[in-house]
Amino acid sequence: ITTPSTTGTSDEALSISDADADAVINLDHGDPTMFEPFWKNAGDKSTVVIPGWHTMSYFSDTSNLCWFLEPDFANQVRRLHRIVGNAVTHAHHIIVGVGSTQLIHALLFALSATDTHHPVSVVSAAPFYSMYPGITDFLKSGLFRWAGDATSFKVNGSSSFIEIVCSPNNPDGTLRRAVLSTEAGKLVHDLAYYWPQYTPMRGPADEDIMLFTVSKATGHAGTRIGWALVRDADVARRMVKFIEMNSIGVSKDSQVRAARILQVISDGYELPDPDSTTRFFHFSRRLLADRWQRLRRAVEESGRFSLPQFSSEFCEFTKEHAETYPAFAWLRCVDESIEDCEGFFKSVKVLTRSGRHFGAGPEYIRISMLDRAHNFDLFVERIASLGLG
Ligand code: PMP
């Protein structure tokens, strides 16, 4: 079958064959390959060539607290935040990491006390990003341990905590604030999805500790680069210590590439005559809007599932009212004959992640909205075929 595009956009060509009708569709991971067409189109502008004698030293800038941070990468990070208006950077140290995953490890170390026998409790409000428990407990550290849902955590005088606040939240796309009082604990704001393709910009975030990653900002998950904006110099120093012990710094080659990628996005907005092919966030937002529209229609027609609703808000970046288009669909099986939503989708060859991994129930699943067009189209077709009628 060949299905024509329903929206008139030519960015995502739809073509579904008979073999596809039986294919396994893996939407378990949030692999951001949907952004590839933009970067294909960007061509040479986004290509980086590194001569054999470049980036050989361990060191990038020994005058910087984060001595392995490439100055050009740091400049492009500050520039992009200024253009987008999603975070203040002037009072913060930038710490680069092997993805924001390494930075979460570094933060758990940096924020816990080494002179106590009581591990600090790490919490996040459910549904929380499914990797937080694993990242916290994988090495069975004596410094910190996962303590689950922040909303049911009892703060008591003697014990401290670290609350990870993910906003917009993975998996359900909601905007979040800390649920615990900060006096007894420390907050980490994971802002991986606070970019204009996913959500309206409500002004610059100005938290003590903020995490970002190229994985979700630009789609370059394979470059493995994230950054933390950290106000307190002692916390920043301890993170640097952790990264020294863990990987003696962060690939300069990757930072050089990430710097170029961020530069292309910023240039697309600041150089003369921006258009839909140079404006990354506008391009990506349009694709996500189209996907969400098609998914909502298929879900509605099925009568068996539901999706979260979001109200539109003014976006300070685009200067217009904008909808929320999360990177994941947090789908609920409302059909009571389905007890295990993940199992049900698996039986029709769609791989998703059960709500159980996020501190929620088996009636929920998380579905990636960021896969390649072909996979996503197959998924929408398949969900449309699951209707009650
Ligand atoms: N935080 C959140 C909320 C995420 O969704 C992800 C990726 N799925 C990460 C952190 C880690 O991203 P990375 O290590 O690729 O930067």
* CB-ligand 1 contact for 199 (6 Å cutoff): no
- What confidence tens digit (pLDDT) does each residue in 45-103 have? 999 999 999 999 999 999 999 999 999 999 999 999 999 999 999 999 999 999 999 99
φ, ψ dihedrals at 388, nearest 5°: -65, -35
Residue of 95, 96, 100, 210 with the most ligand 1 atoms within 8 Å of its CB, for mutation:
100
Residue 325 has pLDDT above 50, yes or no: yes
Distance 386 CA to ligand 1 centre (A): 31
* Ligand 1 atom nearest residue 30's Cα: 8
Dump the DSSP string for 306-335.
Answer: E------EEETTTTEEE----SEEEEEE--
* CB-ligand 1 contact for 99 (6 Å cutoff): yes
Residue from 69, 131, 113, 119 nearest 94 by CA: 69
Q: How far apart are CA 192 and CA 215, in angstroms?
A: 8
* Ligand 1 atom nearest residue 166's Cα: 3
Q: For residue 180, how many C-alpha atoms fall within 13 Å in the half-sphere facing its CB?
A: 27
* CB-ligand 1 contact for 213 (6 Å cutoff): yes
* CB-ligand 1 contact for 342 (6 Å cutoff): no
Q: Domain-by-domain residue ranges, the chain?
A: 20-40+278-384, 71-270
* CB-ligand 1 contact for 135 (6 Å cutoff): no
Task: Grade residue 194 by pLDDT with cuts at 50, 70 and 90.
Answer: very high
Residue of 130, 213, 247, 254 with the most ligand 1 atoms within 8 Å of its CB, for mutation:
213
Q: How far apart are CA 276 and CA 389, in angstroms?
A: 40
* pLDDT value at residue 276: 66
Task: Grade residue 274 by pLDDT with cuts at 50, 70 and 90.
Answer: low
Mean residue pLDDT across the chain: 93
Q: How far apart are CA 110 and CA 242, in angstroms?
A: 8
* pLDDT value at residue 48: 97
Residue 3 has pLDDT above 50, yes or no: no
- Section 247-266 average pLDDT: 98
Look at the chain and count its residues: 389
Ligand 1, atom 2, lies closest to the CA of: 192
Does the ipTM surpass 0.85? yes
Ligand 1, atom 5, lies closest to the CA of: 170
Residue 157 has pLDDT above 60, yes or no: yes
**Helix or strand or coil: residue 95?**
strand
Residue 11 has pLDDT above 90, yes or no: no
Highest mean pLDDT among 13-27, 66-80, 177-191: 66-80
- What confidence tens digit (pLDDT) does each residue in 333-383 have? 999 999 999 999 999 999 999 999 999 999 999 999 999 999 999 999 999
**Helix or strand or coil: residue 211?**
strand
Of all residues in the chain, the percent with pLDDT exceeding 90 is 86
Q: Does residue 272 or residue 86 have the better pLDDT?
A: 86
Q: For residue 203, how many C-alpha atoms fall within 13 Å in the half-sphere facing its CB?
A: 2
Q: Buried b / exposed e across 231-264, counting CB within 10 Å, b at 16+?
A: eeeebbbbbbebbeeeeebbbbebbbbbbbbbbb
- What confidence tens digit (pLDDT) does each residue in 132-156 have? 999 999 999 999 999 999 999 998 8
The C-alpha angle with vertex 65 and arms to 62 and 69, in degrees rounded to 5, equals 65
Topology (CATH level 3) of domain 20-40+278-384: Aspartate Aminotransferase, domain 1 (3.90.1150)
Distance 22 CA to ligand 1 centre (A): 31
Topology (CATH level 3) of domain 71-270: Aspartate Aminotransferase; domain 2 (3.40.640)
Distance 341 CA to ligand 1 centre (A): 24
Q: Is 167 exposed, middle or buried (0-12, 13-18, 19+ CB in 10 A)?
A: buried
* pLDDT value at residue 8: 37
Q: How far apart are CA 334 and CA 306, in angstroms?
A: 7
Amino acid at position 146, single letter: W
